[in-house]
């Protein structure tokens, strides 16, 4: 074998190995999507619209949150809600005494009050617990039920809300061509994700995007919604996000959770409210304010890579981020 | 209490013969099956039940299983409900036999070295024990396993099979350290997770049919405690149903349930919950 033949064979082998590696790495979503998403990610990074995140400081739930939320809403240049049907989606995954698992009711009704003020046509509050067959007892335990009653607001258990199938975009769910979503979700013009700021042992953090998995109907997928994990949590989080009506964010970080989240972590008096029209941008900033890099959150890395939302060019409004910077204890690693 | 509830259920049957979870919702497998079971042996309900049986038969998928509703081609955990309802209300039939076969053959998540290590180290469970998943290809969980056992155990040749013995071991393995059961993760990252009334009740119902001697008094104690901890209507109703099936009782639970009944005769304006409460008041599925 002369040198030329050897080099040709080596080049062919390298091409073959590269092709095999690409095939293996892209198998879940297909090579076409792999390269298309990567190109979209680069386009979004350099040419996509910048994200705007408004940060507010509020040390207690015992103050009137409406003025703060109103200010942040304006600073974040949030979308028009007049005449719209809006679904407020808090985190009601479970209730555990002495652990700040759920979104505080004061934040949920603060958002509802603001929506009333802004002329929303219909306001519904809904979630579907991941572990319990009934979500309403969680709302009762964390005082959301009485807060909603005081405003005459309707609550929907999204686990049983007459789910309907909708087509899946691209290949975010590998084993299915359709995904079932609750009727109130499909009928909404706008969803406001109102998560609790906390760590999460599978996802790294649980913020606006992870909170959206509560819309997945247990009556179709079970308790817990294991399909989301089998599909891969990062793909599922972004897959669900993309089949929903437009989603915006209001994050309850007045008291956050560190350590063994999403259930058994410890409270952190953080004093943060974060508002933005791009949930990806909001989650990037909140992750950083918890003291983590987005490299530690696979679904944010995937969003950056695939060009879902804005992860790089984010404009901060309101309180300077330095005064809200904390260093949360990370969740236990898998 | 019961007659008002019956009127509520019967007046909310859909034109197609099934029931949704709530009035005006489209018919779904779980509530229709639960209502069929709640209405069985009740005079004046035969016609409604027959329409529901026909709807359930129409909703069966070609693979023998059932999905969420008539339009759901992916069979899943609802198959156990449909088999149980058809066996107990319509007797032995081809539909329930094919459903039972689907349940026995359903695929669970493939084990990999990573999932085996994760299950044993982080969750401290035995990944080799087969229960039943919510949907094919997934991990196995307490509720679909208990429902599948209840659906399959009426078959004499299945009741004594290795698969059922494995189910008993599965329940023992997934038991919470302080007794009772939750969704199926007794431990996570060295934290003991609490049991729930609803899941504990379902396992006790399954064990009452499968292996009554394996029921631990501690689990009944945990069930009673969890029923009183705000588990909602379903925890209370399934708990009372399990206790009565085991020959025990909780009169206070019945009082609490009666206090929760709505003006329209239903519980939380929910047809499924109302059906489960009726079964609890009767004391058997």
- Residue B254 counted as domain residue: no
- Is the alpha carbon torsion for A250, A254, A258, A262 positive or negative? negative
Distance CA A234, CA A295 (A): 13
Taking contacts as CB-CB distances below 8 angstroms, the residues of chain B near A226 are 133-135, 138-139, 141
Which residue's structure tokens are 């019956």?
B6
State whether residue B238 is helix, strand or coil: helix
Summarize pLDDT for A158-177 with one digit per residue, the tens.
999 999 999 998 889 988 88
Report whether pLDDT(A334) > 60: no
Going by their DSSP bridges, the two strands A190-194 and A85-90 should be labelled as parallel
What is the structure's pLDDT at A71? 98
- Residue B257 counted as domain residue: no
What is the structure's pLDDT at A278? 98
Q: How confident is the model at residue B179 (pLDDT cuts 50, 70, 90)?
A: very high
Q: Per-residue pLDDT averaged across A268-279, rounded? A: 98
Distance CA A116, CA A183 (A): 22
Q: pLDDT averaged over chain B?
A: 94
Residues 6+ positions from A285 with CB-CB distance below 8 Å: A53, A55, A274, A276, A314, A316, A321
Q: Distances in Å between the alpha carbon of B4 and those of A188, B233, B273?
A: 35, 17, 14
pLDDT exceeding 90 applies to what percent of chain B? 84
| Nearest CA distance, A164 vs chain B (angstrom) | 9
**Token reading at A31:** 């090579």
**Closest CB to A221 among B26, B135, B182:** B135
State whether residue B107 is helix, strand or coil: coil
Our count of domains for chain B comes to 1
What is the structure's pLDDT at A106? 98
Among residues 165-224 of chain B, which lie with CB inside 8 Å of chain A? Answer: 182-183, 188-189, 191, 196, 198
Summarize pLDDT for B238-270 with one digit per residue, the tens.
999 999 999 999 999 999 999 999 999 999 999
**Token reading at A153:** 């607001």
What is the structure's pLDDT at B29? 98
B258 close to A (CB below 8 A): no
CB contact under 8 A, A230 and B138: yes
B235 close to A (CB below 8 A): yes
- Domain assignment of residue B175, given as a range: 111-231
Distance CA B244, CA B241 (A): 5
What is the structure's pLDDT at B156? 63
- Residue B196 counted as domain residue: yes
Check: CATH 3.40.50 for A51-324?
Answer: yes
DSSP β-bridge partners for residue B133:
B140
Distance CA B165, CA A65 (A): 57
Taking contacts as CB-CB distances below 8 angstroms, the residues of chain B near A133 are 198, 232, 234-235
Q: What is the largest CA-CA distance in chain B?
A: 57
Q: How confident is the model at residue B231 (pLDDT cuts 50, 70, 90)?
A: low
Q: Distances in Å between the alpha carbon of B189 and those of A181, A192, B278?
A: 31, 32, 39
Distance CA B37, CA A187 (A): 33
- Residue B183 counted as domain residue: yes
| Nearest CA distance, B44 vs chain A (angstrom) | 29
- Interface predicted TM-score (ipTM) of this complex, two decimals: 0.96
CB contact under 8 A, A137 and B191: no
Residue among B134, B193, B202, B229 with most chain A CBs within 10 A, to mutate:
B134
Sequence ranges of the domains in chain A:
1-47, 51-324
H-run or E-run covering A199? strand A196-200
Burial grade of A167 (CB within 10 A; 0-12, 13-18, 19 or more): exposed
Residue A98 DSSP one-character state: T
Q: Per-residue pLDDT averaged across A186-211, rounded? A: 97
Q: How confident is the model at residue B178 (pLDDT cuts 50, 70, 90)?
A: very high
A280 CB-side CA count, 13 A: 30
Distance CA A79, CA B27 (A): 37
Report whether pLDDT(A49) > 70: yes
Distance CA B8, CA B2 (A): 10
Contact (CB, 8 A) for A280 and A209? yes
Going by their DSSP bridges, the two strands A247-258 and A196-200 should be labelled as parallel
**Closest CB to B135 among A141, A222, A264:** A222
Taking CA atoms, what residue in A is nearest to B194? Answer: A96
Distance CA A257, CA A198 (A): 4
What is the structure's pLDDT at B91? 86
Q: What are phi and psi of A266, to 5 degrees?
A: -110, 150
CB contact under 8 A, A136 and B232: yes
Summarize pLDDT for B28-42 with one digit per residue, the tens.
999 999 999 999 989
Summarize pLDDT for B113-134 with one digit per residue, the tens.
988 988 998 889 999 999 999 9
Report whether pLDDT(B159) > 70: no
Interface A-B: count of C-beta contacts within 8 A: 84
Long-range contacts of A148-152 (CB under 8 A, 24+ apart): A148/A105, A148/A108, A148/A109, A148/A112, A150/A109, A151/A109, A151/A112, A151/A113, A151/A116
Q: Distances in Å between the alpha carbon of B271 and those of A28, A158, B6, B57, B230?
A: 40, 16, 10, 20, 20
């Amino acid at each position: 074998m002369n040198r030329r033949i050897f080099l040709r064979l080596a080049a062919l082998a390298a091409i073959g190995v590269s092709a095999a590696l690409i095939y293996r790495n892209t198998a879940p979503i297909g090579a076409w999507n792999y390269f298309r998403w990567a190109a979209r990610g680069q386009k979004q990074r350099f040419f996509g619209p910048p994200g705007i995140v408004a940060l507010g400081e509020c040390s207690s739930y015992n103050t009137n949150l409406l003025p703060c939320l109103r200010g942040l809403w304006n600073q974040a240049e949030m979308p028009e809600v007049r005449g719209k049907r809006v679904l407020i989606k808090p985190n009601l995954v479970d209730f555990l005494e002495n652990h700040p698992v759920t979104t505080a009711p004061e934040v949920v009704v603060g958002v509802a009050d603001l929506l009333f003020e802004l002329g929303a046509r219909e306001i519904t509050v809904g979630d579907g617990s991941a572990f319990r067959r009934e979500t309403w007892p969680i709302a009762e335990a964390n005082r959301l039920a009485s807060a909603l009653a005081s405003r005459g607001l309707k609550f929907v258990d999204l686990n049983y809300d007459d789910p309907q199938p909708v087509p899946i975009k691209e290949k975010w769910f590998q084993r299915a061509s359709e995904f079932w979503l609750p009727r109130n979700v499909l009928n909404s013009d706008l969803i406001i994700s109102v998560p609790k700021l906390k760590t999460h042992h599978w996802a790294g953090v649980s913020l606006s995007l992870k909170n959206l998995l509560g819309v997945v109907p247990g009556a179709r997928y079970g308790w817990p919604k294991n399909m989301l994990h089998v599909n891969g949590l990062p793909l599922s989080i972004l897959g669900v996000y993309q089949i929903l009506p437009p989603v915006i964010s209001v994050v309850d970080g007045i008291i956050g959770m560190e350590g063994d989240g999403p259930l058994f972590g410890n409270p952190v008096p953080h004093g943060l409210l974060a508002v933005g029209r791009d949930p990806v941008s909001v989650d990037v900033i909140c992750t950083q304010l918890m003291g983590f890099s987005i490299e530690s959150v696979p679904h944010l890395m995937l969003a950056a890579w695939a060009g879902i939302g804005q992860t790089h060019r984010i404009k901060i409004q309101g309180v300077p981020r330095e005064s809200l910077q904390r260093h949360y204890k990370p969740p236990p690693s898998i | 209490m019961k007659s008002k509830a019956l009127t509520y259920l019967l007046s909310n049957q859909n034109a197609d013969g099934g029931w949704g979870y709530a009035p005006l919702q489209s018919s779904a497998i779980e509530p229709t099956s639960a209502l069929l079971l709640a209405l069985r042996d009740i005079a004046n309900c035969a016609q409604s039940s027959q329409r529901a049986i026909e709807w359930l038969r129409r909703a069966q998928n070609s693979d023998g299983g059932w999905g969420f509703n008539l339009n759901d081609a992916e069979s899943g955990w609802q198959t156990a409900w449909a088999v149980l309802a058809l066996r107990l209300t319509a007797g032995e039939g081809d539909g329930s036999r094919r459903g039972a076969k689907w349940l026995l053959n359903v695929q669970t998540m493939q084990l990999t070295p990573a999932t085996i290590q994760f299950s044993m180290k982080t969750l401290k469970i035995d990944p080799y024990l087969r229960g039943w998943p919510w949907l094919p290809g997934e991990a196995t969980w307490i509720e679909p396993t208990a429902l599948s056992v209840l659906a399959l155990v009426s078959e004499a040749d299945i009741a004594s099979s290795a698969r059922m013995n494995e189910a008993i071991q599965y329940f023992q393995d997934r038991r919470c350290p302080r007794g009772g059961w939750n969704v199926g993760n007794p431990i996570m990252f060295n934290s003991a997770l609490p049991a729930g009334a609803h899941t504990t009740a379902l396992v006790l119902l399954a064990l009452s049919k499968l292996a009554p001697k394996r029921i631990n008094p501690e689990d009944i104690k945990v069930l009673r405690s969890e029923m009183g901890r705000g588990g909602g209507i379903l925890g209370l109703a399934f708990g009372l149903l399990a206790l009565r099936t085991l020959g025990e009782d909780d009169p206070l639970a019945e009082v609490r349930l009666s206090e929760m009944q709505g003006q329209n005769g239903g519980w939380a304006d929910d047809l499924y919950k109302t059906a489960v409460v009726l079964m609890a008041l009767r004391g058997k599925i």
